[in-house]
């Protein structure tokens, strides 16, 4: 028997060592999973009653000041969870929209040839991206919005913006018949404009009709001006934003927009320089070059990291307790203190944030597929 025909020892056999390593890792992972599963089962045996939280006869026994729907301390616990969920969704959706718009503006400003604009946006990104979000929320709440004028001496800006330390009032259309008819007029007008567009009517005429439609719609709305009720000291009329909600929204918007700005800057910078030169050679104006040529191509690079920023904003909204805003996490923590059901409430919060982030991720993945260049 030749020496080369001898079997390779197991400790030198790479195939055996690879399989053995995988078995060891699998055993360790299984043991770790079993340890945590045993702890979870032990907690379940000590008492797990999720149905108790949804008992219609069990009152929440605490108030929530800033709510989307009416709520009182006598309402059941599940309604308190619903109110917290709606509050979270309100700040998430508003924050995503505002942070995206602001981030795009700042990101394009970083690419500007104007020295002042470029410097201001650079300082903006460096400050808000490199300071902790929790610290920024404390600053906006305690240092800005609670320092606004009192309701006895409010700051009224052109009767459209009312600033007080109890809330901010913004002129807003009321939920009246006049507003409903205005919205109906807008819908019918857009359908009519779509019909005209398909009839190959000159685009400039459609633009004029569209602008007149928007002007008539805005003038026809039943606008309500914010004002302070001298007898109660409360703000009435228009859209009223509490200091807690406003500081959380501003903090999340400013913080996330700094990251989105860098995502936009990197995406636009990734477009080949030849695309810029070709668009300019066609005689397009600078804003049309960006709108029609550069930005659509940059979206392929922007969307994936932008999804992560949206997910981070949704999860960072759980820091609402820093501004005393009652989101779903703050409500869940209050219920835990009242009932002692820590495991149940943490499970509810985890599942809630998981579902919200999965919905955001699915929506952004769908949008990402839509903006990809289709190749044959």
C-alpha distance from residue 213 to each of 13, 78, 186, 216, 327 (Å): 78, 44, 7, 5, 38
Which pLDDT band holds residue 259 (cuts at 50, 70, 90)?
Answer: very high
| Least-confidence region, from 23-32, 135-144, 271-280 | 271-280
Instruction: Give CA–CA dist 276/294, Å, rounded.
Output: 7
| Least-confidence region, from 8-12, 103-107, 109-113, 170-174 | 8-12
| pLDDT score at 375 | 57
- Does residue 227 or residue 231 have the better pLDDT? 227
- Does residue 132 or residue 296 have the better pLDDT? 132
- Count Cβ atoms within 10 A of the Cβ of residue 106 and give its class: 0-12 exposed, 13-18 middle, 19 or more buried: buried
Q: What is the pLDDT of residues 84-142, one digit of tens each?
A: 999 999 999 999 999 999 999 999 999 888 899 999 999 999 999 999 999 999 999 99
Q: What is the pLDDT of residues 37-89, one digit of tens each?
A: 777 667 665 566 667 777 777 888 888 888 888 888 888 888 889 999 999 99
Instruction: Give CA–CA dist 131/372, Å, rounded.
Output: 34
Q: Are 164 and 149 in contact (CB under 8 A)?
A: yes
- Does residue 259 or residue 192 have the better pLDDT? 259
Q: What is the helix (H) or strand (E) element at residue 234, kind and residue range? A: strand 234-236
Instruction: Give CA–CA dist 143/145, Å, rounded.
Output: 7
| pLDDT score at 225 | 87
| pLDDT score at 2 | 52
- Does residue 78 or residue 340 have the better pLDDT? 78
3-state DSSP percent of the chain in helix, strand and coil, to 5 = 70, 5, 25
Q: Count Cβ atoms below 10 Å from residue 321 Cβ, excluding itself.
A: 17
What DSSP line would sit under 145-183, residue for residue?
Answer: GGGSPPTTS-EEETTTEEEETTEEEE-EE-SSHHHHHHH
| pLDDT score at 102 | 95
Instruction: Give CA–CA dist 320/247, Å, rounded.
Output: 9
Q: Are 193 and 214 in contact (CB under 8 A)?
A: no
In percent, the amount of the chain with pLDDT more than 90 equals 39
What does DSSP say about strands 167-170 and 227-229: parallel, antiparallel, or unpaired? Answer: unpaired
User: Closest by alpha carbon to 238, among 178, 156, 162, 157?
Assistant: 162
Which numeric CATH code is attached to 77-150+244-371? 1.10.3720.10
Provide the 3-class DSSP secondary structure of residue 340: coil
Angle between helices 77-110 and 243-269 (to 10 degrees): 40
Instruction: Give CA–CA dist 241/229, Å, rounded.
Output: 16
What DSSP line would sit under 194-211, residue for residue?
Answer: HHHHHTT--HHHHHHHHH
- Does residue 372 or residue 245 have the better pLDDT? 245
Q: What is the pLDDT of residues 186-217, one digit of tens each?
A: 999 889 888 888 877 787 888 888 899 999 98
Instruction: Give CA–CA dist 107/100, Å, rounded.
Output: 10
Instruction: Give CA–CA dist 91/318, Å, rounded.
Output: 10
| pLDDT score at 1 | 47
Instruction: Give CA–CA dist 210/102, Å, rounded.
Output: 26
Domain positions in the chain: 77-150+244-371
pLDDT, averaged across the chain: 86
């Amino acid at each position: 028997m030749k020496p080369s025909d001898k079997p390779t020892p197991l400790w030198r056999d790479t195939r055996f060592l690879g399989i053995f390593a995988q078995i060891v890792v699998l055993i360790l992972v299984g043991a770790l999973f079993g340890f945590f599963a045993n702890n979870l089962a032990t907690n379940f045996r000590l008492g797990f009653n999720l149905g108790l939280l949804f008992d219609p006869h069990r009152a929440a026994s605490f108030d929530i000041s800033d709510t989307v729907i009416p709520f009182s301390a006598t309402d059941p616990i599940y309604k308190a969870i619903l109110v917290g969920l709606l509050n979270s969704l309100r700040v998430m959706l508003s924050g995503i929209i505002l942070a995206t718009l602001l981030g795009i503006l700042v990101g394009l400003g970083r690419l500007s040839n104007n020295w002042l604009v470029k410097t201001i946006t650079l300082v903006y990104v460096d400050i808000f991206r490199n300071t902790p979000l929790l610290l920024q929320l404390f600053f906006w709440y305690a240092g800005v919005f609670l320092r606004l004028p009192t309701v006895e001496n409010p700051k009224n800006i052109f009767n459209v913006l009312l600033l007080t330390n109890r809330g901010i009032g913004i002129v807003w259309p009321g939920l009246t018949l006049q507003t409903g008819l205005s919205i109906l007029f807008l819908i019918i007008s857009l359908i009519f404009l779509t019909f005209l567009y398909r009839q190959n009517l000159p685009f400039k005429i459609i633009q004029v009709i569209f602008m007149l439609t928007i002007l008539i719609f805005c003038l026809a709305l039943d606008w309500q001006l914010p004002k302070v009720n001298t007898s109660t000291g409360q703000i009435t009329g228009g859209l009223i934003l509490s200091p807690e909600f406003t500081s959380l929204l501003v903090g999340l918007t400013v913080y996330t927009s700094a990251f989105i700005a860098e995502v936009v800057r990197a995406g636009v910078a990734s477009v080949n320089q030849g695309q810029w030169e070709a668009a300019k050679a066609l005689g397009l104006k600078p804003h049309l070059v960006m709108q029609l040529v550069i930005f659509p191509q940059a979206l392929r690079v922007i969307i994936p990291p932008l999804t992560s920023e949206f997910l981070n904003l949704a999860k960072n909204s759980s820091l609402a307790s820093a501004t005393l805003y009652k989101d779903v996490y703050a409500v869940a923590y209050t219920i835990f203190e009242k009932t002692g059901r820590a495991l149940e409430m943490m499970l509810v919060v985890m599942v809630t944030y998981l579902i919200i982030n999965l919905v955001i991720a699915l929506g952004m993945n769908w949008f990402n597929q839509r903006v990809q260049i289709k190749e044959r």
